[in-house]
């Protein structure tokens, strides 16, 4: 049932013991806040949320009843800001800021992104402002989590999860971002300029299974700028190995290892030698 009490700014100021006039905290908040900034694709995802504690209370099905919209933390509902369009279970979310709400249930949770950011609690939540409503199956975790926690996990180039953890419950929200077309366009534009990113472009093509022959052309150009750089030899050896030229990879990596020894760079001695082992 939706509460009839909506705290005023003055009451919130008292409850939070926070001086709104000069922005200075008078004493710690009962529930701390946390802001996370995560690189994602070519952009970033920023999350700000409140972190209540269990304090020996039954949380889900108790303090937070099943079937009710929950602010998902304490104080303001979590605020998620995407600098680029992201996809959540196939649903495209435009760049922007959103409030995150959830509806806990025993066997399935509803995860909600709402277009109205900066909402205090769920007092003014309006379903018609939802941009996303998805169902996520919760997982059981042990030991229990005392302080409500959110984090970005399994972060890869274009995929990651947003995890919500409290008591013995974990909710994992998968996110994806399509950045490849932008990167290719950026590479093509940069290659038409005076400062051509040969090295970075070769690495990107290698790491993302693009045209390996093009990657080899670019690493050859990068290598011309410094014939004694063991990192260029290392990446060239990797690209040669991926293209199927094991003999060339071994020869290049051996040269790279010797160059690294000459400048006492053990890291690139090890890296070049690892390519030799893979190519044998």
What CA–CA distance (Å, rounded) separates 113 from 32? 22
Are 168 and 186 contained in the same domain?
Answer: no
Distance between CA 190 and CA 184 in Å, rounded? 10
The predicted pLDDT at position 27 comes to 75
Q: Say yes or no: 44 and 89 in one domain.
A: yes
Q: Which of 176, 199, 221 is the last residue of a domain?
A: 176
Average pLDDT over residues 93-100: 97
Q: How far is CA 195 from CA 13, 133, 221, in A?
A: 54, 45, 12
CATH number for position 221? 1.25.40.10
What residues are paired with 60 via a beta bridge? 64
For residues 121 and 192, membership in a common domain is answered with no
Do 218 and 259 fall into the same domain? yes
Nearest to 45 by CA among 76, 78, 80: 80
The pLDDT mean for the chain works out to 91
pLDDT at 189 (0 to 100)? 95
Instruction: Give the residue with greater pLDDT, 3 vs 168.
Output: 168
For the residues 228-254, what does the mean pLDDT come to?
97
pLDDT tens column, 168-201: 999 999 999 998 988 999 999 999 999 999 999 9
| 252 compared with 3, residue with greater pLDDT | 252
Q: 41 and 167 in one domain?
A: yes
For residue 154, being part of any structural domain is answered with yes
Q: Write the pLDDT tens digit of every residue in 54-66.
A: 999 999 999 999 9
DSSP symbols for 128-189: GGEEEEEEE--EEEEEEEEEEEEEEES--SSEEEEEEEEEEEEEEEEEE---HHHHHHHHHH
pLDDT over threshold 50, residue 5: no
Residue ending a domain, choose from 124, 149, 176 = 176
pLDDT for the residue 24: 57
pLDDT at 6 over 60: no
Let me know whether 205 and 155 are in one domain.
no
Q: What does each C-alpha distance from 203 to 61, 106, 177, 196, 262 come to in angstroms? A: 50, 46, 20, 14, 24
Could you tell me if 39 and 140 lie in one domain?
yes
CB distance 148 to 52 below 8 Å: yes
- Examine residue 205 and state whether it is found in any structural domain, yes or no: yes
Contact 82, 93 (CB under 8 A): yes
SS3 category, 63: coil
Q: Which pLDDT value is given to residue 12? A: 47
Residue numbers of the domain that contains 161:
32-176
Lowest-pLDDT range, 24-28, 83-87, 108-112, 265-269? 24-28
Asked, for residue 122, whether it belongs to a domain, the answer is yes
pLDDT of residue 13: 46
For the cut 50, the answer to whether the pLDDT of residue 93 exceeds it is yes
* pLDDT of residue 10 exceeding 50: no
Specify whether 68 is located in the same domain as 157. Answer: yes
Tell whether 37 and 171 lie within a shared domain. yes
The reply to whether 22 falls in a domain is no
Domain boundary among the residues 151, 176, 201 is at: 176
DSSP state of 127: G
Judgement on whether residues 62 and 161 belong to the same structural domain of the protein: yes
If asked whether residues 170 and 184 sit together in one domain, one would say no
CA distance 168 to 246: 51
Phi, psi of 150 (to 5 degrees): -130, 140
Provide the number of structural domains found in the chain: 2
Task: Output the pLDDT for position 213.
Answer: 97
Rounded distance between C-alpha atoms, residue 199 and residue 130, angstroms? 44
Residue 24 lies in a domain: no
Q: What is the DSSP letter of 66?
A: T
Q: Name the helix (H) or strand (E) containing 91.
A: strand 91-93
Convert the pLDDT of each residue in 139-167 to its tens digit.
999 999 999 999 999 999 899 999 999 99
225 class by beta-carbon count within 10 Å (0-12 exposed, 13-18 middle, 19+ buried): exposed
Mean pLDDT, range 216-230, rounded to an integer = 96
Q: What is the pLDDT of residue 30?
A: 79
Place of tokens 């050859």: 220
């Amino acid at each position: 049932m939706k509460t009839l009490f909506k705290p005023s700014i003055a009451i919130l100021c008292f409850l939070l013991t926070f001086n709104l006039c000069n922005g200075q905290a008078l004493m710690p908040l009962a529930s701390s806040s946390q802001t996370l900034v995560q690189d994602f694709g070519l952009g970033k995802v920023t999350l700000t949320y409140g972190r209540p504690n269990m304090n020996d209370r039954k949380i889900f099905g108790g303090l937070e009843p099943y079937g009710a919209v929950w602010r998902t933390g304490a104080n303001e509902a979590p605020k998620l800001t995407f600098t680029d369009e992201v996809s959540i279970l196939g649903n495209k979310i435009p760049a922007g800021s959103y409030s995150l709400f959830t509806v806990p249930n025993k066997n399935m949770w509803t995860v909600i992104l709402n277009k109205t950011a900066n909402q205090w609690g769920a007092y003014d939540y309006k379903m018609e402002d939802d941009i996303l409503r998805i169902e996520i199956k919760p997982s059981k975790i042990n030991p229990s989590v005392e302080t409500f926690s959110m984090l970005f996990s399994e972060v890869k180039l274009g995929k990651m999860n947003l995890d919500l953890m409290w008591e013995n419950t974990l909710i994992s929200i998968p996110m994806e971002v399509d950045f490849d077309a932008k990167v290719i366009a950026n590479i093509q534009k940069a290659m038409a300029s005076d400062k051509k990113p040969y090295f970075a472009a070769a690495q990107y093509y290698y790491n993302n299974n693009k045209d390996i022959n093009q990657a080899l052309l670019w690493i050859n150009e990068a290598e011309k700028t410094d014939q004694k750089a063991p990192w260029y030899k290392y990446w060239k050896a990797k690209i040669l190995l991926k293209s199927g030229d094991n003999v060339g990879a071994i020869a290049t990596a051996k040269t790279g290892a010797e160059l690294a020894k000459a400048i006492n760079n053990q890291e690139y001695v090890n890296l070049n030698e690892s390519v030799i082992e893979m190519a044998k």
